């Protein structure tokens, strides 16, 4: 039991303290594990008779991106869920390797806060391109798309435009410039689109690549497409966090102090910093909350990567309380 507890703590620490690229990789790996457990469960449920995995794929297609518009109307969540979904190990491994390489470069160059929006918007762009290409090729109607490849290509394109001369160390090849790696990947996808083998998947890769290019040029024109996504995700996170706090009974509205004057009672917000103790609050509690607020403000303004190791450890300990 201690082994699994240790593994869980390591995953928890990596998810909470790691950058967004690491979090995305962990999410993809965890979902892959769940998919394999589902596959095993389907085999057990059918006593091994589900040789072709018919039951498994019937369930998995509820999460994969469909090419049929009628199915898409009933499964409107699939454009999001499909970009985190992998069925094959090598498919997952390849995507996670390139996500780690390209995503880290992008995060270092334009900030960690833009990584998740690029992943989501790049994946959605790939889904749109897949849907269009599949409907232009009747042979692919009824197919489904899954995987993070389009999102990975969005990172590849973003990194390409930002720093094409960046060198990446590849096994057996040594250091190779980023521009050659990405352009070869695009060329292979263009060849794949013209062929009849997974042309819809290759089209999705092209869709992700196009988004990455447009994202950087929009950013240079001071149009940050990541801001609306981050604002929306922040709103959703705050909404569910408030619900969770109410369920646990820990929800506390913002504290206010009332000062009475002769004419009327004037309410003003408690100052963010104070050295005096108030009744029911110890100075250590106030200091702890102030430090937490400062760290959260720093993350919002400069990004998680700008925190010191001491601040990261403090945030991790605070998250467990």
Q: What is the pLDDT of residues 246-273, one digit of tens each?
A: 777 655 554 444 444 444 333 344 344 4
Q: Distances from the Cα of 91 to the Cαs of 84, 158, 195, 230, 283, in angstroms?
A: 12, 22, 20, 28, 53
Same domain, 314 and 218: no
Does 241 fall in a domain? no
Q: Among residues 168, 48, 46, which one has the least CA distance to residue 105?
A: 168
Q: What pLDDT is recorded for position 106?
A: 94
> pLDDT tens digits, the chain, 321 residues: what are they?
566 677 777 777 776 777 899 999 999 999 999 999 888 888 888 776 665 577 888 888 899 999 888 899 999 999 999 999 998 899 999 999 999 999 999 999 998 999 999 999 999 999 999 998 888 876 667 788 999 999 999 999 999 999 999 999 888 888 899 999 999 999 988 888 776 566 678 889 999 999 999 999 999 888 999 999 999 988 888 887 778 777 776 555 544 444 444 443 333 443 444 343 434 444 444 466 677 778 777 765 666 566 677 776 776 666 555
Q: What pLDDT is recorded for position 238?
A: 83
Same domain, 319 and 175: no
Q: What pLDDT is recorded for position 128?
A: 94
- Containing structural domain, residue 37: 2-228
Does 248 fall in a domain? no
Q: Distances from the Cα of 203 to the Cαs of 145, 198, 275, 287, in angstroms?
A: 11, 9, 61, 54
Angle separating helix axes 149-162 and 115-136, nearest 10 degrees: 120
Q: Are 109 and 162 in contact (CB under 8 A)?
A: yes
Same domain, 119 and 206: yes
248: DSSP letter: H
Same domain, 221 and 302: no
Q: What pLDDT is recorded for position 179?
A: 93
- The total number of structural domains that make up the chain: 2
Q: Are 126 and 132 in contact (CB under 8 A)?
A: no
Structure tokens at 181: 């790696």
H runs (alpha helix) in 221-306: 226-248, 283-302
Q: Any idea what the CATH number is for the domain that residue 66 is in?
A: 1.20.1540.10
- Partners of residue 176 on adjacent β-strands: 168
Does 279 fall in a domain? no
Same domain, 217 and 317: no
Does 19 fall in a domain? yes
Q: What pLDDT is recorded for position 161?
A: 93
Q: What pLDDT is recorded for position 129?
A: 93
Q: What pLDDT is recorded for position 144?
A: 87
Same domain, 196 and 303: no
Query: Own/partner pairs for 251-255, CB < 8 Å, 24+ apart?
Result: none
Same domain, 211 and 295: no
Same domain, 145 and 292: no
* Chain position carrying tokens 């400069």: 302
Domain boundary, last residue among 228, 254, 278 = 228
Same domain, 172 and 43: yes
Domain boundary, last residue among 179, 207, 228 = 228
Does 243 fall in a domain? no
Domain boundary, last residue among 179, 201, 228 = 228
Q: Are 22 and 73 in contact (CB under 8 A)?
A: no
Q: What pLDDT is recorded for position 239?
A: 80
Q: What pLDDT is recorded for position 209?
A: 96
């Amino acid at each position: 039991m201690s082994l699994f507890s240790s593994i869980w703590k390591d995953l928890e620490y990596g998810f909470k303290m790691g950058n967004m690229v690491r979090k995305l990789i962990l999410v993809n790996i965890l979902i892959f594990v769940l998919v394999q457990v589902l596959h095993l469960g389907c085999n057990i449920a059918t006593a091994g008779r589900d040789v072709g995995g018919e039951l498994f794929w019937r369930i998995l297609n509820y999460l994969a991106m469909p090419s049929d518009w009628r199915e898409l109307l009933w499964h409107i969540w699939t454009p999001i869920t499909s970009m985190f979904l992998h069925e094959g190990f090598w498919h997952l491994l390849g995507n996670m390797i390139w996500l780690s390489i390209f995503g880290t470069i992008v995060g270092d160059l334009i900030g960690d806060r833009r990584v998740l929006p690029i992943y989501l918007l790049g994946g959605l762009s790939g889904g749109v391109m897949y849907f269009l290409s599949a409907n232009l090729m009747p042979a692919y109607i009824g197919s489904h798309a899954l995987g993070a490849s389009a999102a990975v290509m969005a990172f590849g394109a973003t990194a390409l435009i930002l720093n094409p001369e960046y060198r990446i160390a590849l096994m057996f090849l040594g250091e190779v410039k980023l521009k050659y790696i990405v352009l070869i990947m695009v060329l292979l996808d263009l060849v794949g689109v013209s062929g009849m083998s997974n042309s819809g998947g290759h089209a999705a890769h092209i869709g992700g690549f196009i988004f990455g290019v447009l994202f950087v040029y929009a950013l240079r024109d001071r149009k940050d497409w990541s801001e609306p996504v981050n604002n929306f995700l922040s709103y959703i996170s705050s909404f569910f966090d408030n619900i969770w706090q109410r369920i646990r009974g820990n929800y506390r509205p913002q504290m206010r102090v009332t000062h009475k004057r002769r004419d009327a009672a004037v309410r003003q917000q408690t100052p963010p910093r104070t050295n005096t103790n108030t009744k029911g609050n110890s100075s250590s509690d106030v200091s702890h909350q102030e430090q937490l607020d400062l760290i959260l403000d720093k993350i919002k303004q400069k990004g998680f990567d700008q925190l010191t190791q001491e601040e990261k450890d403090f945030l991790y300990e605070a998250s467990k309380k």
